[in-house]
Structure 1
Amino acid sequence: MDRRAKSCRCLATLPVPSRLRKAGPNEDPVLPDAPKHLLLVGGGHAHVIVLEAFARRPEPGLRLTLVAKDRFSPYSGMLPGHLAGLYGREEMHIDLERLARRCGAALIEGEASRIEPDARQVCLGSGEVLAYDVLSIDIGIVPDLTGIEGADEHALAVKPIGDLLPKWDRLLADAERGQGPRRLAIVGGGIAGICLAFAAASRLRHTGASITLIGAGPSPEINAGMARRVGHALKRHGIALLSGEPVVAIHRHGVTLANGDSVAADAVLVSTHAAPPRVLHEAALEKDGRGFLAIGPTLQVLGWGNVFAAGDCATMEAHPRPKAGVFAVRQGPVLARNLRRALRGEPLEAYVPQRDHLILIGTGDGSAIGGRGRWLSFEGRWAWRLKDWLDRRFMRRFR
């Protein structure tokens, strides 16, 4: 440990009775005499479900701490609707402080600067060191802009969402004053990019701004029927679609494609490749070929019985899936049960993610395009009502 870490103070363990009463025949088993500390690093979708689970059924003698960059955690499923003006800012955020209070957890607003699994501790950017018995990591992703020249300076990265929102607010304010942008380019032809294109077109329609969606190829996440429906909807909304050539550079006046062509733009949103957060780079934990935490079916980091991970920052080696919020949500209940079992010394359950999942893409006009698997595709206003109901139902769990 370096000098800075040595100067960090460890948080003291909260006092608990030296002996806990034994559980009755119909009660859950209790923790051993020694108090345990469960440390959750990151306020992602899986961790909010863990907090909800421990609020509904507290674990006797457990000390629980959540470390999150911000008090309010955005729900990615509502981001396009918010950008389109269909949801207010507060409707798409989960209040982590309120949620932590419900389950008796301590919330620390900050970020992990170093993870030391051998020492069982996490050092924060503030200099504070947190010792743990069981650790869970759900810190999301950062944009990978390394392959696009000028992206760091001239692009608006979609992830992390908390960094995008104030930039989007400024963009809208400029548009309302007639100061631009008149031409908006969105880089990324996947589901996220498609959703953003519809949202931007809906929000900026009255300003006369043009929208161009640029993708290197067709999205592998949607089937042929959905792709046809999306193509027709993009035309109806006046959104230009350019596919086949990746973006290699972003500059003040637009973007440059791999074939040398240029696309004029006053603002560029990028929703392409993801990268693991910097804190994972130096952590002595097993990773996949791209630097994301490698986890097994029990959501434990490979080789570490007391370290778990979920959400976009982790990859299930045996069952890789796209970096999408739906998988983090599905991991949440399993993660909560396995963290509880790990603290008790009980066997863990295995989790196999579904291969196909329901996809719903809002078109910003009260309608949506949906599908699942290789064949099913549909669209209509009822599909948007379904998506809205699912998203609002999810958010009501944390209010």
Structure 2
Amino acid sequence: MQADSTPVRSDLVLIGGGHSHLFVLKYLAMNPVPGVRLTLIARDVHTPYSGMLPGYIAGHYAYDEAHIDLRPLAVYAGARLIHAEVNAIDTEQQLVLFPHRPSIAYDVLSINIGSIPGMPASAQGDDRQFAVKPINRFLDHWSDLEQRILAAQKPCKLAIVGAGAGGVELALSLQHRIKQALAVARNPGQQLKLSLVTEDDQILSSFNNKVQQRLRRLLKKNNIETLCNTRVERFEAGRLYDVNGDSQECDAVIWASGASAPDWLRNTGLQLDERGFIVVN
């Protein structure tokens, strides 16, 4: 895109490098608006495509195939790219605030930051339990856990809390990856004991019965245990506790249940729904 010499009359700021904003960048690159300065703010410069996460974990895709580099797209759109994490918005002064850099003013603001799985506050800072989102942080945590699994002298027990489509796909892809890694390491005595835990009375509760049956057979074939009607409360001292106080031995937990909004949205003055997400029309 050629440089625009038109004076800046309006600042359009995009928070988040999600799919919607990628299409906005592409559109404005092809249909530039004179006088509009475009700014993209993203926590991760390489934004992962969530639909390819299970395939990437399983080893079917390379890193570059499952991630989008925001830098060339921002250059193509003539946009400023700010590599930072937002922690507040001042809607009165129309400012986007950051913990470690000066604020940025906006005239029009778009927010596309997605959601994060719900997990107890006690999980924070514990490297034995982590959420599936943000994806890049999940991949860092999983890389560390994978090395511990491969180096362990006994089977590792891993629980995935949440048995929706994301949790089921994640369980199958992790099991496949570990099997392949153990085959390469020639360590047949080691194995990953995986369990899917859900408070629903069955896995994939939003899907029809035929899909549920097929996936139950596939999970059983891959030695993945399913625990239904189990509402997890916390993971502590190597045990996973439900709300009734019952527990099971567990080495690590991945939280893939429900969806919650980032905490910083609560202090923006924006209209939120009962779950903390921005209300849209």
Matched, 1:240 2:212: no
* Alignment match, 1:369: none
Say which SS state the counterpart of residue 39 (structure 2) adopts: strand
Per the TM alignment, residue 210 of structure 1 is displaced from its structure 2 partner at its CA by 1.2
1:179/1:143 Cα in 2 relative to 1: closer, same or farther (>3 Å)? farther
Please, which of 79, 87, 95 is the counterpart of residue 113 of structure 1? 87
Instruction: Call closer, same or farther: CA 1:47–1:275 in 2, change over 3 Å.
Output: same
Counterparts of 2:235 and 2:151, CA distance in 1: 25
Amino acid of the structure 2 residue aligned with 1:221: S
How far the C-alpha of 1:171 sits from its partner, in A, is 1.4
Write the distance in 1 (CA, Å) between the matches of 2:80 and 2:278: 25
**5+ long unaligned stretches in structure 1:** 1-13, 19-33, 297-399
3-state SS in 2 of match to 1:172:
helix
Is residue 211–residue 240 contact of structure 1 (8 Å, CA) maintained in 2? yes
**Equivalenced residues, count:** 266
Which residue identity is paired with 1:257? D
Gap change, CA 1:150 and 1:122, over 3 Å in 2: closer
Does the 8 Å CA contact 2:158/2:192 hold for their aligned counterparts?
Answer: yes
In the other structure, the counterpart of 2:123 is 151
- 1:266-281 maps to which residues of 2 (within 5 A)? 266-281=251-266
User: Which of 108, 112, 118 is 1:138 aligned to?
Assistant: 112
Equivalent residue, structure 2, for 1:397? none
Cα distance change, pair 284–210 in 1 and its aligned pair in 2 (3 A): same
Distance (Å, rounded) in 2 between the aligned partners of 1:117 and 1:71: 26
Aligned to 1:230: 215
Residue of structure 2 equivalent to 1:168: 142
* Cα offset, 1:181, TM superposition: 6.0
| Uncovered stretches (5+) of structure 2, i.e. residues with no partner | 183-189
- Structure-to-structure mapping, 1:288-367, within 5 angstroms: 288-296=273-281
* Alignment CA distance shift 1:87-1:17 (3 Å): closer
Q: Superposed, which structure 2 residues align to 1:1-399 within 5 Å?
A: 16-17=5-6, 35-146=9-120, 150-152=122-124, 153=126, 154-178=128-152, 182-205=156-179, 206=182, 207-217=190-200, 218=202, 219-296=204-281
Aligned counterpart, 1:5: none
2:277 maps to a residue whose letter is F
Aligned-pair CA distance for 1:179: 5.3
Structure 2 CA distance for partners of 1:181 and 1:271, relative to 1, 3 Å: farther
Amino acid at match of 1:268: V
Q: 1:184/1:55 Cα in 2 relative to 1: closer, same or farther (>3 Å)?
A: same
Please give the alpha-carbon distance, in whole angstroms, between the structure 2 residues aligned to 1:186 and 1:180.
19
Distance 1:265 1:253 in 2: 5
2: distance between equivalents of 1:216 and 1:63?
47
Residues 90, 254 of structure 1: alpha-carbon distance in 2 compared, 3 angstrom cutoff: farther
Amino acid at match of 2:193: S
Which amino acid in the other structure matches residue 191 of structure 2? Answer: G
* Residues 181 and 95 (structure 1), Cα distance of their counterparts in 2 relative to 1, 3 Å cut: farther
Alpha-carbon distance in 2 for matches of 1:190, 1:163: 21
**Once superposed, what is the RMSD of the aligned Cα atoms?**
2.0
Q: CA deviation at 1:15?
A: 8.4
Aligned CA distance change for structure 1 residues 17 and 93 (closer, same or farther; 3 Å) = closer
Return structure 1 stretches of 4+ with deviation > 4 angstroms. none
- Distance in 1 between residues matched to 2:91 and 2:123, nearest whole Å: 34
Contact kept? 1:73, 1:95, Cα under 8 Å: yes
Cα offset for 1:225?
1.2
Deviation at 1:99, TM superposition (A): 1.0
Going from structure 1 to structure 2, the CA distance change for 1:252 and 1:89 (only over 3 Å counts) comes to: farther
* Distance of 2:101 and 2:149 partners within structure 1: 41
User: Does structure 1 conserve the Cα–Cα contact (< 8 Å) formed by 2:15 and 2:41?
Assistant: yes
Change (3 A) 1:230 1:98: same
Mapped contact 1:216–1:245 kept (Cα < 8 A):
yes
**Distance in 1 between residues matched to 2:15 and 2:87, nearest whole Å:** 11
Tell me how far apart the structure 2 counterparts of residues 192 and 53 of structure 1 sit (CA, whole Å). Answer: 30
**Does the 8 A contact of 1:44 with 1:73 survive in 2?**
yes
> What's the offset of the Cα at 1:185?
1.0
Distance 1:77 1:68, change over 3 A: same
| Post-superposition offset of 1:67 | 0.7
CA distance in 2, matches of 1:227, 1:139: 30
Are the structure 2 counterparts of residues 249 and 92 from structure 1 closer, same or farther at C-alpha, using a change threshold of 3 Å?
same
Displacement of 1:103? 0.7
Shift in Å, 1:178: 3.5
Q: Secondary structure at the match of 1:142?
A: coil
Secondary structure at the counterpart of residue 87 of structure 2: strand
